[in-house]
Amino acid sequence: MRRAADLPRVTPTGGCGRLQAGAAADACVGPGQRPPQGTEGDDRAGRRAVPAARPVSQDFTADAPNRLWFGDITYVRTWDGWAYVASVIDAFSRKVVGWAVADHMRTDLVLDALRMAITRRHPPKGVIFHADRGSQYTSKEFVDFCKINNVRNSVGRTGICFDNAAAESFWATLKKEFIHLHPFDTVERLRTGVFEYIEVYYNRLRIHSTIGYLTPVEFEDEFDKKGDRAA
């Protein structure tokens, strides 16, 4: 098996088929089937929800890495039942810097994704993390975690999907290019598939028009090279 670095860059159409072999089973989500949904302001973990600031106003751009992150939760049907995926994406490069998969949508799910991003990126004090006004992102546990780690917590307005449109766009891409092409029998199989899609394909091989038809890794590498030349 070739390393990710040895694989060719690909366009968004049909580029991740190699990742899907072996991850599928013969099940599908029928029409109208939807998982249980949390309500905004209602922390499913039973913790008190707290107000959160909204420093982001539908502007999902940044002039450098680790200035603005955004994220969300989506759901995937498996043979074992519903599974949930959380993301953290860097607005500068569209690189997925944190993610988590679980069989629940408690606050721990989004904490695991944000914890991965912080551990990997070591962001400067004051990096903004923007999400919708879901119960997980407004819970006291999540807000306290952001404060402890010097992350500015930002949430969208109630019922305004455009306030987190960039995160929703990533889910649409993930499902179109990967999830909807085959189902999964277990949550663990889904976790493996999400790892391969994000870490091997999306971040390293898939080019993005919004960043000059480069991959997220290439775009950040170019930024680092410019900084080195200017130093």
User: Are β-strands 127-131 and 68-78 bridged in parallel, bridged antiparallel, or unpaired?
Assistant: parallel
| Residues paired with residue 69 on neighbouring β-strands, in sequence order | 90, 129
Average pLDDT of the residues in 154-161: 60
Is the pLDDT reported for residue 3 higher than 80?
A: no
- Enter the tokens of residue 5: 């670095």
pLDDT digits (tens, 9 = 90+) for 35-44: 665 534 444 4
- What pLDDT shows up at residue 40? 42
Q: How far is CA 143 from the centre of its chain?
A: 18
Q: Which CATH architecture group holds 4-230?
A: 2-Layer Sandwich (3.30)
Contact 88, 187 (CB under 8 A): no
| Residues paired with residue 85 on neighbouring β-strands, in sequence order | 74, 101
pLDDT digits (tens, 9 = 90+) for 97-109: 999 999 999 999 9
Place of tokens 């775009």: 219
Is the pLDDT reported for residue 90 higher than 90?
A: yes
For 127, the 3-state DSSP assignment is strand
The ranges assigned to domains in the chain are: 4-230
Mention every residue, 6+ apart, whose C-beta is less than 8 A from residue 11.
207
Task: Compute the distance between CA of residue 150 and CA of residue 128 in angstroms, rounded to an integer.
Answer: 9
